[in-house]
Amino acid sequence: MMSHWGHSNDIFDQGYKAVRKSVLLFGLFFTALGLLIFLFPKLIAYMFAFFILTVGVSGLILGYRIWKLRNQARPFDWVDEPLKTNIEVETPANYRRTITFIMR
């Protein structure tokens, strides 16, 4: 239902507008990228090299952070104790079973 000012409160209308805008921007981006590649053929090689460089630097940073996290995750030595397999369950001394009869 449209209000007086021309916008809708319907969530599907807002979703449709967002999808429409994203598809148009997606198409515009790839059209511009295609034109740039036709104008500058070396652009593909530069983009691929930039991608590989970015992934490599990100991997180095992530590896370094994981390496530094090792000292925080295990600040003490673990002591291996044998598992206790014979567990005896003792009944409490004040344990009683109460039986209630209901009579008419």
Cα separation, 69 vs 63, in Å, equals 10
In whole angstroms, what is the distance from residue 90 CA to residue 98 CA? 19
34 plus 45 within the same structural domain: no
Decide: helix, strand or coil at residue 18. helix
Both 46 and 35 in a single domain?
Answer: no
Total structural domains in the chain? Answer: 2
The residue with tokens 């805008």 is 21
Are both 72 and 48 inside the same structural domain? yes
Q: 2 forms bridges with which residues in the sheet?
A: 8
pLDDT at 7: 61
Task: Specify if 95 maps to a domain.
Answer: no
Q: For residue 83, tell me if it sits in a domain.
A: no
Q: Which two tokens stand for residue 33?
A: 């990228």
Residue 34 and residue 18 share a domain: yes
Answer for the pair 1, 9: CB distance below 8 angstroms, yes or no.
Answer: yes
Q: What is the DSSP-derived secondary structure letter of residue 42?
A: T
Q: Is 101 contained in some domain?
A: no
Output the tens digit of pLDDT for each of the chain's 104 residues: 455 666 666 777 888 888 899 999 999 999 998 998 899 889 889 999 999 999 999 999 999 988 888 767 665 566 666 666 666 666 666 666 666 777 76
On whether both 47 and 72 belong to a single domain, the answer is yes
Domain of residue 31, residue span: 8-39
pLDDT for the residue 73 = 65
Take residue 23 and report the two structure tokens written for it: 């598809």
